[in-house]
Amino acid sequence: MRAVGITAAGGPEVLQVIDRPVREPGPGEVRIAVRAAAVNPTDIGLRQAGTALPTPWTPGMDAAGVIESVGAGVERLHKGDEVMAAVSPRRPEGGAQVELLVVPAASVVPIPAGASLEQAATLPMNGLTALRGLELLGLQPGATLAVTGAAGLLGSYVIGLAKEAGLRVVGDAKPEDEKLVRAFGADIVVSRGEGYVAAVRAAVPAGVDGIYDTALLHEKVFGALRDGGTMVVVRGWKPESTERGIVVRQVMVSEVLERTDWLEHLRELAADGRLQLRVAATFPPERAAEAEELMDAGGLRGRAVIVF
């Protein structure tokens, strides 16, 4: 089957369309005819750093398509179902940017009602990342959470899920994105940039209880946290030390790719409009390099999606 292939660690030029073998689904697995696979920062990281597995590598952590066949013991899903799936691209058979994808049935649920396959492909991995980070924060209803990068796709999912959990949310935004971030559910919107910490402290003088740092600002925004507050980070950053008893926790979405209950919850919230599924642009696999360059440029409001 056609797939996006990373032929070596390097720049966008290493991306090619390749042929990948595909196997039958085993017990507890399904095989999906992929129609759409989102492009995420993790794909860029895989392309730049590579992995110990033999090349070529196939990126992609989430996909949407139609179930082509099911393995033994799978009763919840059926051939012909339109579904979305979360997958690790660091497994030997690669990630989601491939025409036929075999994944555990536990990582697959129907797409949200009213969503296109392209829209549904933006939800699984980012939604699971948002839920896992909120679980690690452990905030109780009524607590205040700051979300950096609030206008981005992950930030928007964090806001929606935080509001579902009864949290008060402080989002950041450029002036032109303030209305958008409020539409996601943010209670307070502050400006991005050098004045961020001061703006958060002006709105919440005691400091927020937690920060979900989707913008990778790290220690630069510790000042917005109360003493003993918690920051959740993506992409593995771990400081050698913190100040004022601040705790930093890393989100590893690979730990929750088979949380079917979480995927079902995400599907329900997206169907109700409480999570907004945003596709920034679509590309055929032959233009995967353009899709990654668009993502890498920053400021994208949604996700680039590879379509087969």
Residue 205: partners with Cβ closer than 8 Å, 6 or more residues away: none
For 140, the domain range is 127-253
**Same domain, yes or no: 36 and 104:** yes
Please check whether residue 270 lies inside any domain of the structure. Answer: no
Same domain, 158 and 117: no
- What would the DSSP string read from start to end of 71-115? -TT--S--TT-EEEEE--TTSTT--S-BSEEEEEGGGEEEPPTT-
Q: How far is residue 26's CA from residue 18's CA, in Å, rounded to a whole number?
A: 24
Whether residue 11 is found in the same domain as residue 115: yes
- Angle at 262 (CA atoms; ends 26, 255), nearest 5 degrees: 65
Contacts of residues 136-139 at CB distance under 8 Å and 24 or more positions apart, as own/partner, are 136/230, 136/232, 136/249, 136/251, 137/210, 137/212, 137/230, 137/232, 137/249, 138/230, 139/165, 139/167, 139/209, 139/210, 139/230
Asked whether residue 48 falls in the same domain as residue 150, the answer is no
d(CA 302, CA 136): 25
In angstroms, rounded to a whole number, what is the distance separating the alpha carbons of residues 233 and 217?
A: 9
- pLDDT by residue for the chain (308 residues), tens only, comes to 999 999 999 999 999 999 999 999 999 999 999 999 999 999 999 999 999 999 999 999 999 999 999 999 999 999 999 999 999 999 999 999 999 999 999 999 999 999 999 999 999 999 999 999 999 999 999 999 999 999 999 999 999 999 999 999 999 999 999 999 999 999 999 999 999 999 999 999 999 999 999 999 999 999 999 999 999 999 889 999 999 999 999 999 999 999 999 999 999 999 999 999 999 999 999 999 999 999 988 778 899 999 99
* Number of domains, the chain: 2
Torsion sign across C-alpha atoms 223, 224, 228, 229 = negative
- 136 and 241 belong to one structural domain: yes
Whether residues 32 and 63 share a domain: the answer is yes
- pLDDT tens digits for range 253-308: 999 999 999 999 999 999 999 999 999 999 999 999 999 999 988 778 899 999 99
Query: Do 144 and 27 belong to one domain?
Result: no
Reported pTM: 0.96
Calpha distance 41→233 (Å, rounded): 14
Q: Do 97 and 146 fall within a single domain?
A: no
In this structure, are 33 and 144 located in the same domain?
no
pLDDT for 236: 83
The rounded percent of the chain whose pLDDT value lies above 70 is 100
User: In CATH, what number is assigned to the domain containing residue 215?
Assistant: 3.40.50.720
Flag whether 268 is in a domain.
no
Q: What is the pLDDT of residues 183-201, one digit of tens each?
A: 999 999 999 999 999 999 9
What does the block give as tokens for 289?
């390099």
Query: Does residue 181 sit within a domain?
Result: yes
